[in-house]
Amino acid sequence: MSTVSRNDLRNVAIVAHVDHGKTTLVDAMLRQTKAVGGHGDLEDRVMDSGDLEKEKGITILAKNTTVFYAGPAAEKVADAEAVTMNIIDTPGHADFGGEVERGLSMVDGVVLLVDASEGPLPQTRFVLRKALQASLPVILVVNKTDRPDARIDGVVSDTMDLLLGLASDVAEENPELDVDAVLDLPIVYASGKAGRASKEQPADGGLPENEDLEPLFETILEHVPAPTYDDAEVLQAHVTNLDASPFLGRLALLRVFNGTLRKNQQVAWARKDGTIKTVKITELLATKGLKRVAAESAGPGDIVAVAGIGDIMIGETLTDLENPKPLPNIVVDDPAISMTIGINTSPMAGRVKGAKVTARQVKDRLEQELVGNVSIKVLPTDRPDMWEVQGRGELALAILVEQMRREGFELTVGKPQVVTKEVDGVLHEPMEAMIIDAPEEYMGAITQLLAARKGTMTTMSNSGSGWIRMEFTVPARGLIAFRTRFLTETRGAGIASSYSAGYEPWKGEIEYRTSGSLVADRAGTATPFAMINLQERGTFFVEATSEVYSGQVVGENSRNEDMEVNITKEKKLTNMRAASADSFEGLTPPTKFTLEESLEFANDDECVEVTPEAIRIRKVLLDPSERLKASRRKKQALGV
């Protein structure tokens, strides 16, 4: 029994905070190794292939690609003509942390990308901690060195401080972690947009001296260890992702840790429930650039896709028939936010032709999501047509609902809530550590906003450039509906991000909104006449001539109370003017909410109706008398 290294192969993940340039850098690596064409334009990002990823400008799903590097450094470490590099592009948002953890289970090292101006931010801390917990070596890449406001020295110093603090914390949990080795990490300076990198620090705001990414490839080859395996061990291949092909059905993306996997081979499928089943590998696919190509075999360290196993799940193992040895399941952090998702129960349900409106269709789609999304849980409720969906954060759940909406589903979505737990008989709730960068004139408004949400400031620093950085500890539920208010208070100039900070005892009630809702008291068509007379009461969410129903939230009341309004009132016919001669001139344009903004705005007794053609906020109880009874019961329970 001996350990062998595959020197012609490297598996590496690229991790960073949101919008620090991971996907752009991976695209540049693909182009310089001739894996894809193009000129490196931002609009030409090939890794963010999903429609929502392109629209939002973020990575949602971890994706793998393969490049074949045959530059000068490759000749020093491999006898083959080229070194194979499997690159995992991971999301930067903590809401998609399950994708990060899944990606890290496939690699032997990470490239930590940090913006040359913003420096390490909350998601940087999150992904770096996960890498250290997995004992993976880290390469620091200071990206966007050509930004006019770059501060390279300060960013490197901040990152080393962060690394020291995290390594010390992780070393308490894992004594085998060598803190000194972690701090002795290589640094590469890069501009992913320009496709340039250097080991020598450029001047602030300047491009790296090299005209290509050769220094980055060389650093990966030197500092990311080659995959190792036991040549006497049986086959062990871990399923880390799932995909689908119109011709082959479900594809299982896996990394081979030991042994060799071959096409048409009979293997043991070790399932999560402990059972073992014999299956046949009907197709084996390797990755070249962004394409999958047929292969005959895959050895230790290879990341490949296999077909022929219809019900395989993430975390399961393909192993030897005679001597099966399953690998441990992939473990991710527990969900912190939940929302209810059910069928559309509004009076306008089922009006969209071809829409999916039944409970069976919704249930099947949620169960399908569980197959490939390791970060969410779907739990039953006391209603057969509604389910509780738990996830890492509000954004991740909103992305799921938006995907279902685009697939033709009609849904009723409840306001996001936190997932609590009891510790020694005391109710605890999830906390978030939030870092805010904003112009210093907004410090008072930000402090007041977070104080109302039970946030506590831990540190504050002033860079001297007119911007301040504040760190808060705040309940996760305090960040529900926070983003819109924060952007309003800072005039869109503030930057806020957070990461999980464990659980603490319940902090008490939080008031999310200081305004009420304008609620339609009857069904009909919104008229300009009624809206002009009502618009001094608040702002509207619906357009004139649009159809409304009783219990639909048609606007925001400027006062802290709900108001029943007749938005369908028509002007009576007189001998001076026709009833149809309403004027639109004095009518303020309505506010249009996205799905995320609707979920943020909804109050505790409200929910969101989601259809392929419209998003509407409504009361959970549409009948006014039922809402009044529920309000009285709530007051009695509170002793008011």
By CB atoms closer than 10 A (0-12, 13-18, 19+), residue 7 is middle
Please indicate if the annotation marks 24 as binding a ligand. yes
| % of the chain with per-residue pLDDT over 70 | 88
- Supply the pLDDT for residue 312: 83
**572 annotated to bind ligand:** no
Q: What percent of the chain is predicted at pLDDT more than 90? A: 20
The per-residue pLDDT for range 493-536, each reduced to its tens digit, is: 787 877 778 889 998 888 777 788 999 999 999 988 888 888 88
71 is an annotated ligand-binding site residue: no
Tens digit of pLDDT for each residue in 364-377?
Answer: 999 888 876 777 88
The reported pLDDT for the residue numbered 75 is 61
Per mean pLDDT, which range of 401-410, 424-433, 506-515 is the poorest? 506-515
Domains for the chain: give ranges and CATH numbers.
3-229 (3.40.50.300), 233-319 (2.40.30.10), 428-505 (3.30.70.240)
Is the pLDDT at 1 greater than 60? The verdict is no
Q: What is the rounded distance in angstroms from the CA atom of residue 567 to the CA atom of residue 594?
A: 22
Q: Determine the pLDDT at residue 188.
A: 93
* 566-592 pLDDT per residue, tens: 999 887 766 555 544 455 666 788 888
* Predicted confidence (pLDDT) at residue 94 exceeds the cutoff of 90: no
Please tell me the least confidently modeled range out of 45-54, 224-233, 541-550.
Answer: 45-54
Q: What is the pLDDT of residues 299-354, one digit of tens each?
A: 888 888 888 887 888 888 999 988 888 888 777 677 888 999 999 999 999 888 88
Distance of CA 322 to the CA centre of its chain: 41
Longest dimension (CA), the chain: 102
Q: Are 430 and 394 in contact (CB under 8 A)?
A: no
Residue 79 in marked binding region: no
CB 480 within 8 A of CB 416: yes
d(CA 318, CA 519): 56
Task: Flag whether 23 is marked binding.
Answer: yes
The arithmetic mean of pLDDT across residues 614-627, rounded, is 90
* Lowest pLDDT segment from 95-109, 276-290, 317-331: 95-109
pLDDT at 179 over 90: no
pLDDT tens for 112-123 read: 989 988 888 767
What pLDDT, on the 0 to 100 scale, is given for residue 553?
Answer: 94
> Do the annotations mark residue 22 as ligand-binding?
yes
pLDDT value of position 574: 61
Q: Cα(335)–Cα(347) distance, rounded to whole angstroms? A: 33
For residues 278 and 469, what is the distance between their CA atoms, to the nearest angstrom?
57
Annotated binding-site residue? 84: no
Q: CB of 372 within 8 A of CB of 316?
A: no
pLDDT score, position 560: 85
249-272 confidence digits (pLDDT tens): 778 888 899 988 999 899 998 988
Better pLDDT: 462 or 451: 451
At residue 56, the pLDDT reads 54
Task: Give the 3-state secondary structure of residue 132.
Answer: helix
Res 417 pLDDT > 70:
yes
Q: Is residue 469 helix, strand or coil?
A: strand
- Confidence bin at 615 (pLDDT 50/70/90): very high
Q: pLDDT value at position 39?
A: 39
Which pair of tokens denotes residue 272? 């999560």
Q: What is the pLDDT of residue 487?
A: 81
Supply the mean pLDDT for the chain: 83
More confident residue, 636 or 438: 438
pLDDT in tens, 24-72: 888 888 888 876 544 344 344 444 455 555 555 555 556 678 888 877 7
